[in-house]
A = this chain, B = another copy of it.
């Protein structure tokens, strides 16, 4: 079976050539030539069947043959806000896996007990794009710059529910998956107009401070636990995304 060649091209329907890195891959690794078929993804819900129209040593132009609008496979936006781990490798794999599984937005939080206060979001962006291509996602998750915990809480709007995961047994916590798993998964029963969005907060290695948890609760975040397991930060982040995905996925039938 011939592998379909996917390229990530923002505004693919306006542009006429592959971005530099994608062009180098197309020309030097895949050795594409005029007339070869390629697929473009714009990260905003469309794939494009296209053809290489001109291939120079460094540039690769294309002509779009067909626009293939994609249907969302989950309903509502899944937004993970997480304090990055000290070890960047752990964050990077989490972002790769969360993209494969399916989510919409990630924000990195600077919290009281954060061990990492700076982060190269350009690296994260590259990992996201690579995972979007590998897993053929029609929408690219948005990667936001690091922001302070309070600023995020103060300004965050979400057309749905907001949750904060934490380990303080002295604060009542509901089970996250039980709360979110009340969604009609059959495509004909879904009412897309009402708030299905999920925003979920995961703290650093040393957890949020208790004041941070109380501040979030005072601002409309529900206090939750991800279950009985004691999870590392990156595992908690991925678990929250996977639970959200399971709770919001659309079963179209006949997969």
Contact = CB atoms under 8 A, between A and B. Distances in A.
B231 A101 contact: yes
A229 B97 contact: no
A93 to B, nearest CB: 6
Contact of A178 (B230, B235, B251): B251
Contacts of A5: none
Contacts of A82: none
Contact of A242 (B73, B100, B239): B239
A238 interface: yes
A249 interface: yes
Given A235-B101, A251-B178, A136 B73 contact: no
A143 interface: no
Contacts of A73: 227-229
A32 to B, nearest CB: 22
A241 to B, nearest CB: 10
Interface residues on A, range: 20 to 34
B232 A255 contact: no
Nearest to A255: B225
A246 interface: yes
A229 B135 contact: yes
Nearest to A71: B228
A145 interface: no
Interface in A102-126: 102
A177 interface: yes
Contact of A235 (B97, B231, B239): B97
Contact of A100 (B134, B135, B229, B255): B229
Contact of A249 (B228, B230, B249): B228
A249 B175 CA distance: 12
A230 to B, nearest CB: 5
Contact of A231 (B135, B246, B252, B255): B135
A173 interface: yes
B134 A232 contact: yes
- A-B pairs with lowest CB-CB distance, top 10: A73-B228, A135-B230, A100-B235, A242-B242, A136-B230, A97-B235, A225-B255, A100-B231, A102-B229, A101-B229
5 contacts: A101-B229, A135-B232, A136-B230, A225-B255, A239-B242
